[in-house]
Amino acid sequence: MREYTEKIREIAKKLLESKRVDVFIGYRKGTVAMMNEPVLIREPEKVGLLHWDSHCGLNLCNYLTKRTEKIGIVANGCNSRNIVTHILENQIKREQLYVVGIPCTGVIDHRGVQRAVQPREIEDVEDEGDAFVVRAKDFRETFKKKDFLRTNCAVCGHRNPVLFDEMVAEPVEEEKEVRPYHDVESIEKMSSEKKWAFFTQLISKCIRCYACRNACPLCYCPTCFVDESKPQWVGKSTDPTDTMTFHFLRAYHCAGRCTDCGACERVCPVGISMRQFTKKLNKDAEAYFGWEAGLRLEERPPLDVYRPDDYNDFVR
């Protein structure tokens, strides 16, 4: 991954020096292991901060919304699909952007790594080809990356960017055999009672911190429905019904837009798998409309156009 980092820095320097862009958005290494953070760079001499490895799990599109300057941005498969969605939803213009494409081999699930080496305190995690090395006090061990991918990365069918001006490397091979909706299908087979019990249990730990919403590039409304008080759409307590309403409505606002980038799950402080909500919608969008979000600039999303052959079996 060192080559990626070098190449990103080189491109960013070129873009900033030539004034092709005013700001470059990328990742830098976080102060805590596996916690890379977003960074906005305006001066060419600061490109040394830029970094790429298997821990770039936040979605940088959050920083594009309604910007007016010229922007350079790094984007892997899912992030590039969010850029497309942002352009379709008029949150940014294509002409403003210089997209630096990253062929992605997945982000590592930091919780999985912590579990594997607990109770040690991890000092550093570094990529080494298909593997990564974890270092702690008097401890050093190599793990295979494919055993520690985030669940969304493990079933990803769009690793290469769909939109880019320049790639940092040759595209990687796309996974053809993945079954992204395997878990949704197993829930669909449950009885109604079991489904309710499953989802009630799933969100029972939620503390309503809204980190999932804040990390999501789709959640750019100036005032979110959960923050409004006149009218108050949903109760603000951790009452199970309020919490369930928050989760299914947040997910529903992402219907036909979610790229399964996994930022929501990554930032959840209590480890809720809220992608179970959005994945059902992604599956239905594909089944009913043949739609996967953010693949093309030429086509409007299914939920903002009417077509005479839209499915309507649910209308009695």
Partner 1 sequence: MLKGLLEHIGLEPGRLQFSWISSAEATKFVEVAQGVAKEVNALGPATRLVKRRAEVG
Of 133, 169, 197, 209, the residue at the interface with partner 1 (CB under 8 A) is 197
201 binds partner 1 (CB under 8 A): no
241 binds partner 1 (CB under 8 A): yes
Stretch that binds partner 1, among 41-49, 103-111, 150-158, 234-242 (CB under 8 A): 234-242
Of 235, 267, 273, 295, the residue at the interface with partner 1 (CB under 8 A) is 235
251 binds partner 1 (CB under 8 A): yes
Look up tokens 């002409």; give the residue.
95
192 binds partner 1 (CB under 8 A): yes
Q: Minimum distance between the CB of residue 83 and partner 1, rounded to whole angstroms?
A: 24
Cβ-in-10-Å burial (0-12, 13-18, 19+) of 203 comes to buried
Backbone φ and ψ of 231, nearest 5°? -85, 160
Q: Minimum distance between the CB of residue 252 and partner 1, rounded to whole angstroms?
A: 6
Q: Which amino acid is at 292?
A: E
Backbone φ and ψ of 141, nearest 5°? -145, 145
Q: Minimum distance between the CB of residue 227 and partner 1, rounded to whole angstroms?
A: 19
233 binds partner 1 (CB under 8 A): no
188 binds partner 1 (CB under 8 A): yes
- Are the CB atoms for 100 and 166 separated by under 8 Å? yes
Hey, CA dihedral for 31, 33, 39, 42, is it positive or negative?
Answer: positive
Instruction: Count Cβ atoms below 10 Å from residue 194 Cβ, excluding itself.
Output: 11
Look up tokens 């739609």; give the residue.
291
**Joined tokens for residue 203:** 């969100």
Longest dimension (CA), the chain: 67
Stretch that binds partner 1, among 71-79, 142-150, 205-213, 233-241 (CB under 8 A): 233-241
Instruction: Render 228-271 in DSSP notation, one character per residue.
Output: --TT--S--S--HHHHHHHHHHHHHTTTTT-----HHHHH-TT-
Of 255, 261, 263, 293, the residue at the interface with partner 1 (CB under 8 A) is 255
Q: Minimum distance between the CB of residue 314 and partner 1, rounded to whole angstroms?
A: 5
Pairing mode, strands 139-144 and 166-167 = unpaired
281 binds partner 1 (CB under 8 A): yes
153 binds partner 1 (CB under 8 A): no
CA–CA gap between residue 67 and residue 316 (Å, rounded): 44
Q: Which amino acid is at 197?
A: A
- Are the CB atoms for 256 and 81 separated by under 8 Å? no
Of 210, 284, 286, 301, the residue at the interface with partner 1 (CB under 8 A) is 284
3 binds partner 1 (CB under 8 A): no
Backbone φ and ψ of 28, nearest 5°? -130, 160
- Total binding residues toward partner 1, as defined by CB under 8 A: 33
Of 186, 288, 297, 300, the residue at the interface with partner 1 (CB under 8 A) is 288
Stretch that binds partner 1, among 28-36, 127-135, 149-157, 191-199 (CB under 8 A): 191-199
Q: What is the CA radius of gyration of the chain?
A: 20
232 binds partner 1 (CB under 8 A): no
Instruction: Count Cβ atoms below 10 Å from residue 105 Cβ, excluding itself.
Output: 19
272 binds partner 1 (CB under 8 A): no
Closer of 136 and 187 to partner 1 (Cβ): 187
- Are the CB atoms for 104 and 172 separated by under 8 Å? yes
Binding site for partner 1 (CB under 8 A): 184, 187-188, 192-200, 235, 239, 241-242, 244-245, 248, 251-252, 255-256, 277, 280-281, 284-285, 288, 303, 314-316
